[in-house]
């Protein structure tokens, strides 16, 4: 008899979810109060806050469903992560002092469309289940491919733009910040892909696994990206009205 041994991802347990929520919430609050007058800081704060909220939603699904049903927490959690690709793309453009309004409108616009779909379309989010190590989500089958294309497409676009703009930026600190931003992207994308290749059964848990690893992205934004670009004197004054 052949015994199948499934991967046990103990780094995504409810205890880790709530701990990650606290870490990312503290990071968001620190960034907000430390650099609150700066648009780039607000974008970083929004990114950290969205990551934190998804962890809270997962915890509520697994442990307690206060105020809302488990399915409603899943809907809100999905909205929180849906806005992440446009936010990180926007951060990269701000660091590079580049304007690309059509691209940002397309990114944010598509995020709004999917957010409305998950929030208000009855079968948009079909079910959720806590497996103890991570949460799996089931969305409408016909939306899986478009959503995957949306999510990974904008993430890859963000990486490519950051790499491209790195060669055009003159300020050393901003060059370093773009490299760290790329590292932040890869810190949660690559491990999630590796886990999925090793165990294809985790495909429906990809959002949970990616956001579990995304605590590395949160710490990168807090300790590497923000200090490099937000502590420059008058760094964003010249472009504060650009976006």
C-alpha to C-alpha distance for 161 and 45, rounded to whole angstroms: 21
Q: Where are the beta strands (DSSP E) in 67-162?
A: 125-130, 135-139
Contact 163, 185 (CB under 8 A): no
C-alpha to C-alpha distance for 171 and 179, rounded to whole angstroms: 13
Closest CA to 57 of 74, 69, 81: 74
Contact 200, 2 (CB under 8 A): no
DSSP codes, 91-109: HHHHHHT---HHHHHHHHH
Query: In degrees rounded to 5, what are phi and psi of residue 185?
Result: -55, -55
- In DSSP terms, 128 is beta-bridged to 137
* Cα separation values, 135 from 147, 188, 207, Å: 18, 16, 8
C-alpha to C-alpha distance for 39 and 59, rounded to whole angstroms: 30
Per-residue pLDDT 10s for the chain (243 aa) are 334 333 444 456 788 888 999 999 999 999 999 987 789 999 999 999 999 999 999 899 888 767 888 889 999 999 999 999 999 999 999 999 999 999 999 999 999 999 999 999 888 888 787 776 677 888 899 998 999 999 999 999 999 999 999 999 999 999 999 999 999 999 988 887 887 777 666 666 677 767 777 889 999 999 999 999 997 644 444 444 444
Between CA 159 and CA 168, with CA 162 as vertex, the angle to 5 degrees is: 150
Token readout for 238 is: 């010249």
Contact 53, 25 (CB under 8 A): no
C-alpha to C-alpha distance for 75 and 128, rounded to whole angstroms: 9
In this structure, is the dihedral angle defined by the CA atoms of residues 115, 14, 130 and 187, taken in order, positive or negative?
positive
**Continuous segment of H or E residues that includes residue 233:** none
Contact 12, 209 (CB under 8 A): yes
pTM above 0.85, yes or no: yes
């Amino acid at each position: 008899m052949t015994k199948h041994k499934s991967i046990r991802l103990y780094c995504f347990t409810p205890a880790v979810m709530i701990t990650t929520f606290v870490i990312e919430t503290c990071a968001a609050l620190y960034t907000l109060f430390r650099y609150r007058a700066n648009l780039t800081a607000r974008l970083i704060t929004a990114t950290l806050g969205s990551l934190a909220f998804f962890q809270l939603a997962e915890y509520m699904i697994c442990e307690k469903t206060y105020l809302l049903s488990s399915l409603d927490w899943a809907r809100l959690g999905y909205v929180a992560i849906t806005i992440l690709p446009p936010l990180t793309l926007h951060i990269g453009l701000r660091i590079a002092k580049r304007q690309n309004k059509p691209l940002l409108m397309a990114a944010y616009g598509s995020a709004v469309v999917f957010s409305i779909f998950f929030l208000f379309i009855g079968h948009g989010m079909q079910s959720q289940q806590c497996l103890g190590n991570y949460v799996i989500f089931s969305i409408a089958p016909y939306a899986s491919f478009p959503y995957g294309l949306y999510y990974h497409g904008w993430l890859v676009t963000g990486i490519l733009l950051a790499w491209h703009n790195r060669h055009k930026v003159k300020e050393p600190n901003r060059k370093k910040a773009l490299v760290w931003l790329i590292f932040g992207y890869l810190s949660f994308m690559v491990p999630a892909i590796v886990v999925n290749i090793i165990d294809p059964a985790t495909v429906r848990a990809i959002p949970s696994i990616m956001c579990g690893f995304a605590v590395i992205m949160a710490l990168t934004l807090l300790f590497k990206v923000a200090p490099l670009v937000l502590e420059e004197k008058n760094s964003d004054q010249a472009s504060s009205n650009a976006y």
